[in-house]
Structure 1
Amino acid sequence: MSDMRGPMRPWLRIVLFASLALNLAVAGLFAGFLFKGPPRHGHDRDPVAPYTRAFDEEQRGEVWQALRQRYRADRAADGRPDVLGEYHAALDALRAEPFDAEGFGRVLAEQGARADERRQRGERVLLDYVTALSPEDRAAYADRLEVVLAEYAARFERFRKKGGRD
């Protein structure tokens, strides 16, 4: 019986590599689920999350568009921040001998101030949007917000019963 093996075709290598990568990704997700539980929504820690979750899909899209327009207008007026430059300044401060705690703190403060500005921009957009709602739409929004808050309360109670911290 002759040996059927010859050089592997390049496309077959790609297919086998992709299959292996996909299998490893699925195994990693499964292992993460087993050890950490189901994924949690990071935005749920944001105080504005209940407000945005209470919007219906159309409203969420409208608020998102308003936020993007506000962001673009502010960026056009203020310019684009050098985000990567700030991280490189943080790296320089971290690697400095002696450690440049003041420089690192300055970078953190600048990044925090920019995050606060983004949060405030979002709050203004949210307030403007809700202010423009009709009384009926605002009441329906309040009803949906009440449901979302009840879901949060139930989730927090389950967390506390499992021994989580407040």
Structure 2
Amino acid sequence: MTQPWMRWLLVASLSINLLVAGAVLAALVQGRTARTERAGGPPEIALLIRALDRDDRGALLRKLRATDGIRTGRDSMAAARARMIGALRSETFDRAAFEAALTEQQAIRGRLSAHGIPMIAAFVGSLSEEERAALARALRRRR
């Protein structure tokens, strides 16, 4: 016959295993979401890019990232984010520096959109009628 404490030990072990499995699953799901969101840029562009199938999305992203305006914009955005984070971490909060960093990010997003929209329009224009219909369906599902 099994000792009563053995049953409690098995229940505790199972509970710990389920907690660990849940934490791992949550981390995987969270990581997947973060990667998906990262591959977009400005919202009007991100929605279209995420709606493309994997091959088309990869081709378009490679083309966009190879463009000087996009590449320098991404570098500028990273620098502006670093300034924003610096303002947040500062011992004394500098509201003007924080606001300037946010405003700069907004301006950079506008420039990125200005570079990216014509490229995306050309890409979508090269799709067949069936491919555009599939893109429209994907966009509709993503609302």
Per the normalisation by structure 2, the TM-score is 0.55
Q: Relative to total residues, which structure has the larger helix share, 1 or 2?
A: 2
Give % identity: 17
Which residue of 1 is the match for residue 86 of structure 2? 91
| Aligned match of 1:20 | none
Instruction: Tell me which residue corresponds to 1:160.
Output: none
AA in 2 matched with 1:65: R
2:76 counterpart letter in structure 1: P
Is the CA contact 1:52–1:60 (under 8 Å) kept in the aligned structure 2?
yes
1:147, distance to aligned residue in structure 2 (A):
1.9
Q: Decide whether the 8 Å contact of 1:63 with 1:129 is kept in 2.
A: yes
Where structure 1 has 5 or more consecutive residues not aligned to the other structure, the ranges are: 1-22, 154-166
Partners of 2:51 and 2:139 within 8 A in 1: no
Whether the 8 Å CA contact 1:90–1:107 is kept in 2: the answer is no
Corresponding position of 1:6 = none
Residues 98-122 of structure 1: CA deviation (Å, up to 9, x unaligned): x422221111111222233223332
State whether structure 2 residue 134 is matched by structure 1 residue 141: no
1:1-166 residue pairs with structure 2 within 5 A? 26-30=21-25, 32=26, 42=37, 46-70=43-67, 73-74=68-69, 80-81=75-76, 83-84=78-79, 87-88=82-83, 90-92=85-87, 95=90, 97=92, 99-131=93-125, 133=126, 137-152=127-142
Superposed CA RMSD: 4.2
- TM-score after normalising by structure 1: 0.49
Number of aligned residue pairs: give it: 119
In the TM superposition, residue 124 of structure 1 has moved relative to its aligned partner by: 2.3
Task: Give the aligned residue type for 1:29.
Answer: V
The CA deviation string for residues 12-40 of structure 1, in whole angstroms up to 9 with x for no partner, is xxxxxxxxxxx98644134x49xx9xx75
